[in-house]
Amino acid sequence: MLNQAMTSTRNNNEFRSGASDAVTGSLLGCALGDSIGLPFEGISARRIRRLNPGPLRQRLLFGYGMISDDTEHSCIVAQALIASGGDAGAFGRNMAWRLRWWLATLPAGIGLGTLRSAIKLWLGFPYHQSGARSAGNGPMMRSAIIGAYAGGDDRLREDLVAVSSRITHSDARAERAAQVIACATALALDNETISPARAESYFGKWARNDEALKALLQRAAQSAADNQSAQQFCVDNDMRKGVSGFCYSTLAVVLQIWFRHYDDAETAITEAVRCGGDTDTVAAIVGGMVGARTGRHGLPQHWLRCLNDWPRSVKWMESLCDQLSQCRESGVRQRPKYVFYPFALARNLLFILIVLAHGFRRLAPPY
Ligand SMILES: [Mg+2]
């Protein structure tokens, strides 16, 4: 009896530390992908090879990296989950307020769909009517953290992804892509082996009435099964210049990489960045998915040491995730860790200057 009780306590603790590690790994994995990909955003695969032929590292500011909207949105989702205790309606209302104030801090590089919806929120639209008609990447970039949080609770995960997506994007494709990302993240949480041959059984649900999504899943799975590189996959699928901000282009590349490297964050993020185009977002999504599987300690530690931002520092994100895990276990809402908005505004003004200076530097050779 005592043995049984001890085993049960141990299993519970293992579950707890595992769940906590998944959300922390997911958020930090997203931040790493974002910070490694950001300096290369909008340039081609060929130019990235010329600029950085060796192993990738952070390089935005003297060898250190910063985060952008992709990670900030994942933090906003985590805060709204903590404040709502995972109740979908409360989550939507809370997230809507956070997006309003996030816009007020003048974030650089905000997507058009997200900008239009945040303005609609300020004009008084409720969170379920504020989405802009856009099939951009916004919903996908904040979806892995929901997969890590909800895990195998399909109903909870799908409800939360639907709310999170529709706040900014009303196009059904953007939501379906976000559902696939959260589902994939949750699938890989246990120690199961992921196989591209099972793509249909993993994600077929969302492709039932969507021929484009069905074809995309088949292409990505086949390419991964053939062990093609992501760059070659891009060349074969009209993305020679890089991955666009259209959700289905991004989803195809993300899945192609995830099928092959779902437990290796460094390789997955490197492949994502080397495809060119929307590098920070593609790498942030891949990093968020893989990080949920590997946990914090499975992430490349040399990259984590060079991630340097404020007020959303690595330490800040770690304690936000601890709070999120406690909240998931207890089901009790809490007041989440916050960012003092004037600090975020000051940081963003400095960030715009850094990004501009980096942009000018990129005009110089090698081409
Ligand atoms: Mg970004």
Query: Using one digit for the tens of pLDDT, what is the confidence trace for 335-356?
Result: 999 999 999 999 999 999 999 9
d(CA 111, ligand 1 centre) in Å: 8
pLDDT at position 359 is 86
Domain range list for the chain: 16-360
**Which of helix, strand or coil describes residue 226?**
coil
- Indicate if the pLDDT at residue 6 is higher than 70: no
d(CA 357, ligand 1 centre) in Å: 17
d(CA 196, ligand 1 centre) in Å: 28
pLDDT at position 362 is 84
* Whole-Å CA distances, 350 to 27, 64, 111, 159, 284: 23, 15, 19, 37, 22
Residues with CB under 5 A from ligand 1 (ion): 68-70, 280
d(CA 282, ligand 1 centre) in Å: 9
d(CA 292, ligand 1 centre) in Å: 20
- Indicate if the pLDDT at residue 255 is higher than 70: yes
d(CA 85, ligand 1 centre) in Å: 27
pLDDT at position 297 is 95
| Rounded Cα gap, residues 95 and 91, in angstroms | 6
Q: For residue 193, what pLDDT band results from cuts at 50, 70 and 90?
A: very high
The pLDDT tens digits for 283-319 are 999 999 999 999 999 999 999 999 999 999 999 999 9
* Whole-Å CA distances, 227 to 111, 123, 196, 198, 220: 32, 49, 10, 15, 11
Radius of gyration of the chain from its Cα atoms, rounded to whole angstroms: 19
d(CA 278, ligand 1 centre) in Å: 8
d(CA 32, ligand 1 centre) in Å: 12
d(CA 34, ligand 1 centre) in Å: 7
pLDDT at position 4 is 39
Pair of tokens at residue 159: 């409800």
8 Å CB contact between 186 and 150: yes
The angle, 0 to 180 degrees and rounded to 10, between the axes of the packed helices 88-104 and 112-122 is 100
**Which of helix, strand or coil describes residue 272?**
helix
Single pTM value for the model: 0.94
The pLDDT tens digits for 46-78 are 999 999 988 999 988 888 999 999 999 999 999
d(CA 137, ligand 1 centre) in Å: 10
Contacts of residue 106, Cβ cutoff 8 Å, sequence gap at least 6: 345, 348, 349, 352
Mean pLDDT of the chain: 92
d(CA 280, ligand 1 centre) in Å: 5
d(CA 141, ligand 1 centre) in Å: 9
The pLDDT tens digits for 73-114 are 999 999 999 999 999 999 999 999 999 999 999 998 888 899
pLDDT at position 18 is 53
CATH of domain 16-360: 1.10.4080.10
